[in-house]
Amino acid sequence: MQELIKIEGGHRLNGEVTVSGAKNATVALIPAAILANGPVTIVGIPQIADVDNLCQILRLLNVEVTVVGPDHLIIDPTHMTNTDLVAGCVTKLRASYYFMGSLLGKYGHVRMRMPGGCYLGPRPIDLHIKGFEALGAKVRFEKGCYDITADRLVGNKIFLDIASVGATINIMMAAVYAQGRTTIENAAKEPEIIDVATLLNKMGARVRGAGTNVITIDGVNALSGCFHEIIPDRIEAGTFVVIGAACADHLKIRNVIPQHLESLLSKLEEMGVRMEIGVDTIDVYGTENLKGVDIVTKPYPGFATDLQQPLTVLMTQAQGESHVRDTLYPERFKHCQELEKMGAVIEVSGGEAEIKGPTPLGGAEVQASDLRCGAAMVVAGLIANDVTTISNVYHIDRGYSELDLKLKNLGAKIWREMGE
């Protein structure tokens, strides 16, 4: 038995939705907080399973975690101990690997199990390891565990062969206490990296250049507690913009930084979607006669791989052919198989999908094979005739804060049931 999401499609949505704090910033900010020597208060925490698992890891490390209200966390590492991270919660998400950087940075040693997370094809962490080694650490992998040790960490110049989000953040965290200057070249430029650098700097670190492709970190001796508010989730915001375009009369999306969504918004404009972009809001109007478009996913500020899956659903409603090429994860196309069950006409080969539209979608039994595939299934369910049943919804709960409630408030018919 498992929990299923059911959606009765075909109802027009209307109203306002407020975007939560960014998942991919939060999952790095929580491990980063343990670098401080006093309490760190973070607000805007999304209600997602990844946060619950990270808090469980904090408790294993004897870090005091206080939940204040729905979106407010106080992380106090004053009495923390550097325990081996071998419990099940470590393998439930990918971002547990950020404890590699933060524990190595703070204690010069970390032992932890291989992280988990969505399967999007192979997801190596060789660049993280290369970065730790460049700072002076010795890395061993045996019996499913990483053992990373350094007598002392010394700043170095590190060139990333790929502008990896995870490697950039992990190296930044490992380097904050290192002796001298660390330079990360070809660093990733995602807004979540700036958010982590901002937290570290509030704690007293000296990180410069976050948001550009060269980041420098000058090591410091101590970091203190601070207060931090998480940036809005650009992927959740983008998902709601797609939902608005697909099936709303008028949707107002609040707590957005539209600049973070430029690549999506310009594609939607090309498709013919009507939007009004405010300072921190986006108004979107359901649009008929959409035109097919082509997208190629790239590191930020290119088109986000995390949004190609929800956008594919809108492409099934657009006139003509659309193409999606995912250069980051060429196997991230499981949603296409599921959409075909609902009547979509899609051909996937060689890291690319060709979508022929418009095709009406009909309710079916589909699965959320990863987080953003789950989001795509929700969008599809909202526009399909009849009832769509989504299984493996724990993937959706890992990354979307109160999705059912937010959609219900907009007029969607969505509910949960236990089933096979």
User: For the chain, what percentages of helix, strand and coil (3-state, to nearest 5) are there?
Assistant: 35, 30, 35
Out of 54, 58, 134, 165, name the contact with ligand EPU by CB under 6 A. 165
Least CB distance from residue 408 to ligand EPU, whole Å? 23
Candidate segments 59-67, 158-166, 243-251, 400-408, binder of ligand EPU by CB under 6 A? 158-166
Residue type, 162: I
Q: Known catalytic residue: 247?
A: no
Taking Cα atoms as reference points, which of 332, 401, 343 lies closest to residue 369? Answer: 332
The CA distance from 52 to 49, in Å, is: 5
Q: Is 118 a binder of ligand EPU (CB under 6 A)?
A: yes
Contact between 172 and 215 (Cβ < 8 Å): yes
- Each residue 240-269 as x (binds ligand EPU by CB under 6 A) or -, in order, gives ------------------------------
Rank residues 168 and 216 by Cβ distance to ligand EPU and give the closer one: 168
Q: Is 166 a binder of ligand EPU (CB under 6 A)?
A: yes
Rank residues 4 and 328 by Cβ distance to ligand EPU and give the closer one: 328
Contact between 72 and 39 (Cβ < 8 Å): no
Q: Is 306 a binder of ligand EPU (CB under 6 A)?
A: yes
Out of 9, 19, 21, 24, name the contact with ligand EPU by CB under 6 A. 24
Q: Is 199 a binder of ligand EPU (CB under 6 A)?
A: no
Q: Is 125 a binder of ligand EPU (CB under 6 A)?
A: yes
Number of residues this chain uses to bind ligand EPU (CB under 6 A): 24
Q: Is 335 a binder of ligand EPU (CB under 6 A)?
A: no
Q: Which of 89, 118, 226, 247 is catalytic?
A: 118
Using alpha carbons only, give the angle 366, 370, 375 rounded to the nearest 5 degrees: 70
Least CB distance from residue 140 to ligand EPU, whole Å? 17
Residue type, 404: D
SS3 72: strand
Torsions phi, psi for 384 (to 5 deg): -75, 155
CB proximity list for 354: less than 8 A, separation 6 or greater: 321, 322, 323, 346, 347, 348
Residue nearest to ligand EPU (CB): 166
Using alpha carbons only, give the angle 176, 180, 182 rounded to the nearest 5 degrees: 60
By annotation, the residues acting in catalysis are 118
Q: Name the residues that contact ligand EPU, by CB under 6 A.
A: 24, 27, 94-95, 118, 123-128, 162, 164-167, 188, 305-306, 328-329, 371-372, 399
